[in-house]
Amino acid sequence: MTHRTAPTPEQKARTARPPAASTSRARALATRQVHAGYTPGVPQNTVAVPVYQSVAYEFADFATARDTFALSRPGNIYSRNGNPTNAVLERRVNDLEGGAGALALGSGQAAVAVSLLTLIAAAGPGTHHFVASNKLYGGTSDLLGDSFADLGIEVTFVDPLDTEAWRGAIRDTTRGFFLESIGNPVLTVPDLRAIADVAHAAHIPVVVDNTMATPVLLRPFEHGADIVVHSATKYLGGHGTAIAGVIVDGGTFDFTARPARWPRLTEPYPRFDGIVFTDAFDGSEGRTPFLVLARAKSVHDLGPTLSPTNASQILLGIETLELRVRRQTATALELARFLDERHEVARVHHPGLDGHPEHELVSNLLPEGLGSVFSFDLAGDPDVVETFIDSLELFALVANIGDVRSLVVHPATTTHSRLDEAGRADAGIGLTTIRLSIGVEDPDDLRADLAQALQAVARATAAATEAPAPH
């Protein structure tokens, strides 16, 4: 005997209207080609998350439409703001990070931009300032140092390892601290708790990019972060097939402690019919004041939308996240130790190595490792970089990280090429710095590939030394 659970009132309401084909009067082909065979809102029993490839959503009735647009009722309105497939991604990443709610976006760059622009939106018109690490992914540096400057948003870049520098950079107009849990590309690991304590003493929220660590290795909310962002393109997706970003709100920052600093959240907002966000949204169903403002204003106005197809790809990647990250992390440390012993290598930037200045902090903050990305400096002139990279066979020359494939890139001429010499120096990047992202291939094969590329460098260096001087 098959047992069926009784339908809920919501399911009854959704299925109250019969399918369009079941009517007393046969409808024309032009009508049936739009309506036949499908009833909106009827749940299916698929085990995998469906791709809801829909622009808009049908409301059960007039009141539902009115209340959803008024933000008093959660629900889908238009896929620019939210989509059922994306909602699963949001709930899943939020669960992994231990937050109060999440928002999926079209890219990691969008996640960074929307998180910071929403803090500005919460503050309303005026002068705005952020304090940020000077060791960031190149695209983030471009956003904060160039595009934000175009908008009149001031950013002070500080050494993420210097806690007092963060304190000294605070202004009355500071809207947030921004840093990476593991710096890209030289694996700078800041003391998150110490920096968060400085920020919170001044009632400033802390935004942490956790792309490099992933929640497998570090959960920033446990160390004082208020908002976490991810380029889901990287490890969460893991296969180089989809671009996406996610913002996770920890729900920990108290915007009401300094209400005059955040009037768009703590005072009636005319655009939204006088809603006071901190009164109306308590974090239930993932609707924190910050995230509702981000979705209803920043995402609605700017449109950094994530397609449901890409969300589905990221969800598939997340299902193997821990397996991949742990294998890649172990292989990366093994290869870092190998490179550290080679005479062709001047320095390896991996805090997991004994003797690294951040080794002790890393051991406490990230006891399970630092992921698959690390950098090293080749010995010799910058000319040897081209020889090394072009000699690699398994490492693909790709401007990405966190893939199942092993990747290599030269930051000074690619990902961080927009930085001037001083900016690269602050970021710890030299002309011979090479970044690796280790995949899931066999460690012995990767080691052999690196060894033969280093041998090619040694041969080229020897040939250049032996060449007769030009007359």
For residue 144, the domain's CATH number is 3.40.640.10
- In angstroms, the CA 400 to CA 37 distance is 43
Are 234 and 189 contained in the same domain? Answer: yes
First to last CA, the chain: 96
The arrangement of strands across the sheet holding 373-378 comes to 345-349, 373-378, 433-437, 407-409, 396-397
- In angstroms, the CA 369 to CA 363 distance is 8
Asked if residue 91 is part of any domain, the answer here is yes
Asked if residue 143 is part of any domain, the answer here is yes
Asked if residue 450 is part of any domain, the answer here is yes
Mean pLDDT, rounded, of the chain: 91
The reported pLDDT for the residue numbered 470 is 56
pLDDT tens digits, one per residue of 295-306: 999 999 999 999
- In angstroms, the CA 20 to CA 15 distance is 12
The last residue of a domain, from among 276, 302, 317:
317
Are 208 and 281 contained in the same domain? Answer: yes
Are 312 and 448 contained in the same domain? Answer: no
Q: Hey, what are 276's tokens?
A: 């006071």
Q: Evaluate whether 230 touches 108 at the Cβ level (below 8 Å).
A: yes
pLDDT tens digits, one per residue of 211-239: 999 999 999 999 999 999 999 999 999 99
pLDDT tens digits, one per residue of 338-384: 999 999 999 999 999 998 888 888 988 999 999 999 999 999 899 99
**Which residue, among 184, 25, 180, has the nearest Cα to 112 in the 3D structure?**
180
Per the structure, the complete domain to which residue 228 belongs is given by 81-317
H or E segment to which residue 228 belongs = strand 227-231
Q: Hey, what are 100's tokens?
A: 């109060």
The reported pLDDT for the residue numbered 426 is 82
Asked if residue 42 is part of any domain, the answer here is no
pTM of the model: 0.90
Asked if residue 49 is part of any domain, the answer here is no
| CATH number for position 417 | 3.90.1150.10
Are 122 and 231 contained in the same domain? Answer: yes
Asked if residue 157 is part of any domain, the answer here is yes
Are 327 and 305 contained in the same domain? Answer: no
Q: Evaluate whether 405 touches 439 at the Cβ level (below 8 Å).
A: yes
The reported pLDDT for the residue numbered 471 is 53
pLDDT tens digits, one per residue of 21-48: 444 578 887 887 778 777 777 777 888 8
Residue 245 pLDDT grade (very low, low, confident, very high; cuts 50, 70, 90)? very high
Share of the chain above pLDDT 90, in %: 81
- Given a cut of 90, whether residue 20 has pLDDT beyond it is no
pLDDT tens digits, one per residue of 69-123: 999 999 999 999 999 999 999 999 999 999 999 999 999 999 999 999 999 999 9
**Which residue, among 242, 225, 223, 224, has the nearest Cα to 233 in the 3D structure?**
242
Q: Give strand ranges (E) for 366-470.
A: 373-378, 396-397, 407-409, 433-437
The reported pLDDT for the residue numbered 182 is 95
ω into residue 185 within 30 of 0, thus cis?
yes
In degrees rounded to 5, what are phi and psi of residue 248? -120, 125
Place of tokens 């924190």: 288
Q: Which of helix, strand or coil describes residue 209?
A: strand
Are 211 and 150 contained in the same domain? Answer: yes
Asked if residue 136 is part of any domain, the answer here is yes
Residue 468 pLDDT grade (very low, low, confident, very high; cuts 50, 70, 90)? low
pLDDT tens digits, one per residue of 108-125: 999 999 999 999 999 999
Q: Evaluate whether 300 touches 78 at the Cβ level (below 8 Å).
A: no
Are 348 and 396 contained in the same domain? Answer: yes
Are 216 and 358 contained in the same domain? Answer: no
Mean pLDDT of 413-433: 87
Neighbours of 386 (CB within 10 A): 13
Q: Evaluate whether 293 touches 332 at the Cβ level (below 8 Å).
A: no
The last residue of a domain, from among 287, 317, 347:
317
Are 307 and 218 contained in the same domain? Answer: yes
The reported pLDDT for the residue numbered 313 is 97
Pairing of strands 174-180, 129-133: parallel
Mean pLDDT of 54-76: 94
- Given a cut of 90, whether residue 56 has pLDDT beyond it is yes
Place of tokens 């990747």: 407
Angstrom distances, CA of residue 43 to CA of 40, 46, 311, 348: 9, 9, 19, 53
The last residue of a domain, from among 268, 293, 317:
317
Total domains in the chain come to 2
- Given a cut of 70, whether residue 12 has pLDDT beyond it is no
Residue 467 pLDDT grade (very low, low, confident, very high; cuts 50, 70, 90)? low
Are 305 and 350 contained in the same domain? Answer: no
Residue 469 pLDDT grade (very low, low, confident, very high; cuts 50, 70, 90)? low
The reported pLDDT for the residue numbered 26 is 83
Are 144 and 244 contained in the same domain? Answer: yes
- Given a cut of 70, whether residue 8 has pLDDT beyond it is no
The reported pLDDT for the residue numbered 1 is 39
Residue 168 pLDDT grade (very low, low, confident, very high; cuts 50, 70, 90)? very high
Residue 244 pLDDT grade (very low, low, confident, very high; cuts 50, 70, 90)? very high
Are 382 and 325 contained in the same domain? Answer: yes
- In angstroms, the CA 411 to CA 435 distance is 7
Share of the chain above pLDDT 70, in %: 94
Task: Quote the Cα angle for 6-7-13, to 5°.
Answer: 155
Strand partners, 154: 129
Between 122 and 416, the higher pLDDT residue? 122
Asked if residue 34 is part of any domain, the answer here is no
Dihedral of alpha carbons 200, 207, 375, 138, sign: negative
Strand partners, 269: 275
